[in-house]
Amino acid sequence: MPLPALLVEASKIHSMASESSVDQEVLGKGIQALRLCEEMISKLGMLSSNETKVDVNAANLKSLLVPFFIGELTEKNC
């Protein structure tokens, strides 16, 4: 599955989890999708630690939220 589609799927699961309670299986799928996103972002080199906020491409801004989404879903999964 391409990265943009994974980000959309994970974002939907995060939204569902924020609005209501979802079962552990759905949360697990969301976390798994986000971890795959994180791996793909790293392999593609989309974000670099030496970039400033001006250097980040607007299309890559969603990828900055991946660690935040992982943290929130992991917290709800406990």
- Say whether pLDDT at 32 is over 90: yes
Structure token digits, residue 32: 């798994």
Are 72 and 29 in contact by the 8 Å Cβ rule? The answer is no
d(CA 61, CA 74) in angstroms, rounded, equals 21
Domain ranges across the chain: 3-77
- Say whether pLDDT at 78 is over 80: no
- Say whether pLDDT at 1 is over 80: yes
Mean pLDDT over 18-44 rounds to 89
**pLDDT tens-digit series, residues 35-60:** 999 999 888 887 777 777 777 777 77
pTM of the predicted protein model = 0.81
d(CA 78, CA 76) in angstroms, rounded, equals 6
